[in-house]
Every structure is written in C-alpha cells, then in structure tokens.
Structure 1
Amino acid sequence: MIGLIVLAIGGAWLLISMASARFLASKFKPPLVAALVAVLSFVAIATLPFADEIVGRRQFANLCKKEAVVWMAPNSATVTAAKNVGGFSERAGLVFPVQQQSIRYANLSNGEVFYSVTAFHTPGGVLMRAGLGLGHSRSCWPERWGGRALGIDIDAMVKRGEQLEFLEQFGSELRAIRSSTTASARWVRTVPEPRPLVGASREAVLNAFGAPDTCQPEAKESCLKSRSWSYQFFRIPAGSTGLTPQLHIQFGGNEEVESSKWSFSK
C-alpha cells in the first residue's frame, strides 16, 4: 500500500515538474534556449525533493569514511573481565538525522576502555523518512570490528564481568543483611536473573557469599561439598513480616555453578 502511494506521489510530482518546465521554457522565444531551459528546469524541479538526500548521503559517506573505526588497546588480550560502557548519541550539524553507536568495553579491574567500535545509522532524508524508505535505515560499520576477528573473545570477557559484578553486589547485600541489628525486617530489594552466576567456581561463590545459610555447624564440612547451596537474602525478626528471597545454587561435577534461581515466600 505504501509503495502504491509513493508511486502515485512520484508520478504527480513528475507531471508538476514537466508542467513547470514547459511554463518556464515558454518565456524564451529562441527554440534552443527554450529547450535548454526546459531540460534544466525539469531536472532541477524533479530532483528538488531529493536535494537533502543527495547532500545528506555525501555527508554520511564522509562521516563513515572518517569516523566509523575500530580501536583496540595493545594490552586487550590480557583483559579477563569487561563491561560495556558504550551507548547511542545523535550527531548534529548534518542534513538528515544520524545516530552514532559507540560500542566501548572497559576493563572491569580499572575502568579503562580497551576496545571501541564506532558505527553510524540514518533513516535518510525527508522522503525516506516519510515512507519511501519503507521503514529501513542505512548503517555503516568498520570492515573488521568483531572481537574474535581481532583475536579477543569479548563475549567471554563480558560474561566474566557480569559474574564478578553479581558476586560483588549481592555479596555486599548479604553481608549487610546478616550484620543488621535493626528490629525491622530487611531483605534484598532487587532480584535480577542470577544467570551470571552460571560458570562461577564454588570457591568464588564461597568467597563472595560465605557459607550457605542451610549449613548446620555440626555438618558444615560436608555441607560445603554439597551440590546444592541456598542463601537467605532476608532477616525477619520475631513478630515481623516481609519477603523472604532465597538464592538456590546448583553445582556441577566440575565444581562450577550449573544453575541458579530465586524463590520467594512471605
């Protein structure tokens, strides 16, 4: 339907262009001059709606050529845990809208960016945004920008980074809950999907969270070797009520977290 509407509008504009060119040519009596005016007028009027597209495409091409680049620090291969600190921003001073996508990964240990990729996206000029582009956008990327293509495994670094952040955040939350001496109930307020824990070692979990709350003192040694651990992210004093989020962790045969999930009760 949109295609038919676009064709109808385009046909109407061609007719208007032809009529306008004839009118302008009629003002000149020498046949050669009139013909030249007619041709030039028709081309100018017919292409007028695409003027921003013509200029904008050149601007976009120049922008891509100069700034759509990838950068990697010399010590990138030594990074073990990373965090995505990139985002999107709008570029100003161009004929049509251009969005800049900055993919930037920082070393979790010191916050320094070690890998960055810059790409650009645009929906085009006025006519393209009005429907001629059928909702599509144009993009440009560096030729070789994937981490694996450059010799580093970004996905593994990010996964490790998410794991360390989860352990640090909820380890701190658990210590605060356990050490709380207030008379009111207390529990962890946010419970994101514990997927980052998968692959963490038993030792890493123990260092971050301490011994599981399900371990009894007389059987602590055997409990620490159990495949299932549970942590109570709440403290409910006698006579109080509140949520009781518990984190359940299952270890595999390689002593790494195989699965994890939250459970809740009141």
Structure 2
Amino acid sequence: MKRAILSLVAAALAGVATACSPAPPEQDKTGPQAAGDWTRPPVIQRVDRTGSTLVVSGVAQADGRVVLRSDDGAAFAASADSRGRFEIRLPAPAARLLLRPETQVGQDTAPSPDQLLILAGGQGPVVVLRPGGATRRLDAAPALGAVDSDGRMRLASGRVAQGTDRVEVRSDGETVQVAPDAAGGWSVMLAPHGGPDQIQVDGRDFVWPGEAPASAGLSVERLESGWRVRWPGPAGASQSTWLPDPAGP
C-alpha cells in the first residue's frame, strides 16, 4: 500500500510546481466495448435507496453480467444492456456492507480494483474505495469528502460546484491551491501527520482524527466528526479512510 500511494504522489506531482491537480476522471464509455479480447470491469456511478432497497447503477462491458460479491459469500447480479448500463437491486443492509464488483462474459471475469462500501444501511456514507487512490463519495458530502492514508502519506479529496476555478486547502501550516476537474472533483497530497490535524477546505474547518487502528479486516468507527474506516486492500495491505460528515443545518 505504501508503494501504491507513493506512486500516486509521483504521478500527482509530475510537472506541477505550486499546486496539485486531480488525475483525470475515468471516461464514461457507454457504447459497446471496442474490438479486443479483454472484458471491461464495472464502474459504479450511483447508489440510490428506495424504501428498503438499494439500487446500484453504473457502466460495464456491454451485455456482460455484473456481480457484486460480499465477504460472507452473498452475491447480487444483473446483466448490462447493449450500451453497458446496469442496475443491481439489493436489500439495504442493517449496518455496513462491503462489495467487490466484477464483470463476467462467458468464461472471462474482470474484477474491478474498486470496492463499494455502504454504511448505516445506505443512510450513512456510500463510497467507492480504491487501493492507493482517492475515495469517491456517492452520498451527499462536504467539499472535503475523504482523507485516505497508509501511515506515511495522506490523500485529501472531494467535490465542489462545477465551474469552480480553485479550491484552497490548508493543512499543517501549508496552503495549496487545487484546480478541480470538469465535474468539480479534486485531490491533493498532504504531508504525513500523526493526527489529529486541522484541515481547512474553502474556509470550512475539518479535524482529521488520525489513522484508523490496525485491523485484520474491515473496521468501521462512528466518530463525532464523521466515519473512520480501515479496509483491506490487495496482498494483505490495508488503507485508512476518514469520511467527514456533511455540514449541519
């Protein structure tokens, strides 16, 4: 995990003198898969709650079968249409649920590098986790949506209104101006800190509580300022993610 986040640092800093800009978002290719013998893994774009049902939607390999697998062996599946669009309905969990998406086409299986985490039965944060990368929130979130950490580096990320020119991020005595992408998404590397640490984004103060304690598997803590998660990555690595609460009324 350290190597993954450090690689992300190099990519984020390449060619940038005074500010860090987010990596370009993944293209939403909704047409049939281009010629080739590879299968496109699913990209989860939305999770909506309707009563006691969650609807997970996104895009994957055209006409492929999309499966969401949990650690307890449960699986939820649906077929993508000719444009790759899919919708999977599942019962809202009583508490938390971690799902791993994959696409199946014949004998081929294409697992996604992402994991879908649903907290508080879909009434808490709903996020897409990516090892070594920025967490993507699908729920209502403040300008600072997440802080990911591997114990050495921290990656802050979030979303602001489309058309925003700059996001100002202050942490540990440093101020960084970040240029959001076309959708308002942004990310920036922060210096390591033992925590707690005050992070200011566009004038709002957040207090990062520090890394989640070590855990063999998924651990979730409800804190006064948000949610703190320790989740498993590839090859036995793990990553800590803090999800700030939206602003109160």
TM-score, L = length of structure 2: 0.27
Q: Which has the higher contact order (CA 8 A, sep 6+)?
A: 2
Larger Rg: 1
Q: Say which structure is richer in strand.
A: 2
